[in-house]
Amino acid sequence: MKTIIQLDQLDLTFTQELWSKIVDFVPVLLKGIGFIILAWLVIKIVTYVLAKLLKFSKIDTLTTKLNEAELFGKSDFTVVPSKIILKFIKYLLILIFTVIASEMLGLTMVSEGISSFIAYLPVLISALLIFVCGVYLASLVKKAIVDTFKSLELSGANLVSNIVFYAIVVVVTITALDQAGIETKMITDNLTLILGSVLISFTIAFGLGARDVVTRLLFGFYSRRNFQIGQHIKTKSLEGVIQEIDNICITIKTSDGIVVLPIKKFVDQKVEIIK
């Protein structure tokens, strides 16, 4: 026996519900597509205008100063402020439009998560600024130490300058992490012990070895104060004209040639200034 199913006996409830959902979703889809196009246009316009303003402000001239400071050593890495600002604004706008789109679609968890991240950005940016400014300051101090050692003709400029540089960088890094809301108590406690031990060892070693350095500095100061380049002098063993004076030695031109005397030996003997 054949069973004939009439069309009006079919259960079309599922089909009707599916069609109803499709019809209801079409306006949302069109609205979403329109919103994406609008967001894309706004981002393009804002970044274009901002790029022109940054170019007019010549902010990229800071690149030369940052690279001269050698924040990243001798590497080829360069910092371009305009590109960093443009990328930051671009992705910030993307996050903002994502929050708006999530609210429109009823995705409250997504919008709340992104909103929390956006609210955290000022704290993160301030921490990054502290780190960058601190590293820049450390590089200036490092350069100043190297120049000072060279002017005084002392050795160990690279060692001392690097120790000071990395000490400042460590302090700045901890400060930046603390600003970013990261717990740094354990790091601080351990570093305090390590730095304390290193500084005590360095102080003892420097104190024992600095006597000769200080002596040479005093001899050099005494020689420059009492003798001048071009003076004709006479000692027990030689006679000639002073050509050069530094913290280590003194150069004298005699009738037999050039004589280089240790500054200590020169100062310890009787010197007669002829003219």
Out of 81, 106, 131, pick the residue that ends a domain.
106
Q: Is residue 246 part of a domain?
A: yes
Of residues 116 and 3, more confidence is placed in 116
pLDDT tens across 140-161, in order? Answer: 888 888 888 777 666 667 877 8
Overall domain count for the chain: 2
According to the per-residue pLDDT averaged within each range, which of 48-57, 143-152, 219-228, 263-272 is highest?
A: 48-57
CATH number, domain containing residue 252 = 2.30.30.60
Out of 86, 106, 126, pick the residue that ends a domain.
106
What confidence score (pLDDT) does residue 10 get? 47
What confidence score (pLDDT) does residue 136 get? 83
Q: Is residue 253 part of a domain?
A: yes
DSSP secondary structure string, 151-206? HTT-S-HHHHHHHHHHHHHHHHHHHHHHHTT---HHHHHHHHHHHHHHHHHHHHHH
Out of 106, 134, 150, pick the residue that ends a domain.
106
Q: Is residue 141 part of a domain?
A: no
Q: Is residue 115 part of a domain?
A: no
Q: Is residue 196 part of a domain?
A: no
Q: Is residue 49 part of a domain?
A: yes
What confidence score (pLDDT) does residue 210 get? 57
In which domain, by residue range, is 267 found? 229-273
Average pLDDT over residues 99-128: 80
pLDDT at 62 over 80: no
Q: Is residue 91 part of a domain?
A: yes
Q: Which of 258, 224, 225, 226 lies closest to 241 in space, CA to CA?
A: 258
Q: Which residue, chain included where needed, has tokens 């002098």?
A: 233
**Mean pLDDT of all residues belonging to the chain:** 76
Q: Is residue 44 part of a domain?
A: yes
